[in-house]
Amino acid sequence: MKINFILDPLASLKTQKDTSLAIMREANKRGHELFVSMQHDVFLRGNLARIKAQKFNFTPEGFILEPAFESLPSAFDAIIMRKDPPFDNEYLYSTYLLEIAVTQGAKVYNNPVALRSWNEKLSVARFPQFSPEFIVTANHQLIREFLTEHQDIIVKPLDGMGGSNIFRLTLNDPNISVILESITQFGSHTIMAQRYLPAIAQGDKRIIVIDGIPLPYTLARIPLAGETRGNLAAGGTGVAQRLSDRDYEIACTVGTTLKQEGLFLVGLDVIGEHLTEINVTSPTGMVEIAAQTDCNPAGVLMSALEQCRQ
């Protein structure tokens, strides 16, 4: 297969732990041709979707790129969208361009319409049986009422990643006003507040779902001492664990819907017994699971992709 990966700039990727590169290494091992593009390499020429790409080859020292060329997106057997958030206007425009490419025959993973529709924080509202209590608003008074009710909450932006701009608030916090002013930009930006889950001490579990089916292991991201965020980018430690019965129930139920929506690779975040986020843009954790278990997540993904393209 000819597989094109839409990535962040290659220089920004952490070579030894990046999930996109792990998938690419597995694809290369299987003899597939690899290509890379950046977000703004997808464009329209008139009503026709086009993409600029470079052939990518691994070398003992790293990788080399061949000169860029312009192509129809449909010339690739698969285009894998792995651009990191934030999900800003430019990301939104990319989903529109990729959607047009799909109507013209391109095979894009994840489905660009679903990328646009499934906000990674708000999507837990589709599964109220699994989510903790939460409120989504820009209104400070409503957030304060939610805090009074639950005593201990987490507030986070709707478009962030890696644990950025996530705060824990308790009733006696002297910084409530300034935190709410900052995170909502004085009431102009909508945020999510969730009831704080003490089970975060045992890890913020990342469950990888591929074509609707969860991997048998989760990556429990355990926070640093004194920290409330388990994200690896925030210093958390990743520990691979077998899925619990509850993890499996959540992942299989959600996975059925994800597959119907064309969301091929998704990372679910589970704290204790609650689903807290549904990561559809560029979920990570594959390298850590592969290093600690007998599971090869990139191999599972490539087998599923090969099956889809038969």
Say which DSSP state 243 is in: P
Tell me: do 192 and 228 sit in the same domain.
no
Tell me: do 55 and 106 sit in the same domain.
yes
Position 232 scores a pLDDT of: 66
pLDDT tens, 79-96? Answer: 999 999 889 999 999 999
Query: Do the domain assignments include residue 115?
Result: no
Position 89 scores a pLDDT of: 94
Tell me: do 7 and 97 sit in the same domain.
yes
Q: Say if residue 260's pLDDT is above 70.
A: yes
Tell me: do 212 and 142 sit in the same domain.
no
The residue ranking higher by pLDDT, 20 or 232, is 20
Tell me: do 213 and 192 sit in the same domain.
no
Position 234 scores a pLDDT of: 59
Residue 233 binned pLDDT confidence (cut-offs 50, 70, 90): low
Tell me: do 19 and 56 sit in the same domain.
yes
pTM above 0.85, yes or no: yes
Tell me: do 283 and 185 sit in the same domain.
no
Residue 28 sits in a domain whose CATH number is: 3.40.50.20
Residue 226 sits in a domain whose CATH number is: 3.30.470.20
Position 217 scores a pLDDT of: 98
Q: How far apart are CA 238 and CA 218, in angstroms?
A: 9
Question: In sequence order, which residues have a C-beta less than 8 Å from that of residue 220 and are 6 or more positions away?
Answer: 202, 203, 204, 205, 206, 230, 238, 239, 240, 241
Residue 14 binned pLDDT confidence (cut-offs 50, 70, 90): confident
Tell me: do 11 and 29 sit in the same domain.
yes
Residue 202 binned pLDDT confidence (cut-offs 50, 70, 90): very high
Q: How far apart are CA 191 and CA 172, in angstroms?
A: 21
Which residues are tagged catalytic?
A: 121, 156, 206, 221, 229, 269, 277, 279
Tell me: do 100 and 70 sit in the same domain.
yes
Tell me: do 95 and 32 sit in the same domain.
yes
Query: Do the domain assignments include residue 33?
Result: yes
Q: What percent of the chain has pLDDT over 70?
A: 96
Q: Smallest Cα–Cα separation from 147: which of 101, 113, 194?
A: 194
Tell me: do 8 and 103 sit in the same domain.
yes
Q: How far apart are CA 179 and CA 183, in angstroms?
A: 6
Query: Do the domain assignments include residue 117?
Result: no
Q: Alpha helices, DSSP H only, in 133-262?
A: 140-150, 176-183, 245-261
Tell me: do 191 and 213 sit in the same domain.
no
Please state the domain count of the chain: 3
pLDDT tens, 35-68? Answer: 999 999 999 999 999 999 999 999 998 999 999 9
Q: Say if residue 227's pLDDT is above 70.
A: no
Maximum alpha-carbon separation in the chain: 59
Q: How far apart are CA 287 and CA 43, in angstroms?
A: 32
Quote the domain boundaries for residue 281.
122-126+199-308
Query: Do the domain assignments include residue 284?
Result: yes
Chosen domain end from 162, 196, 230:
196
Looking at residues 290-301, what average pLDDT do you find? 98
Residue 147 sits in a domain whose CATH number is: 3.30.1490.20
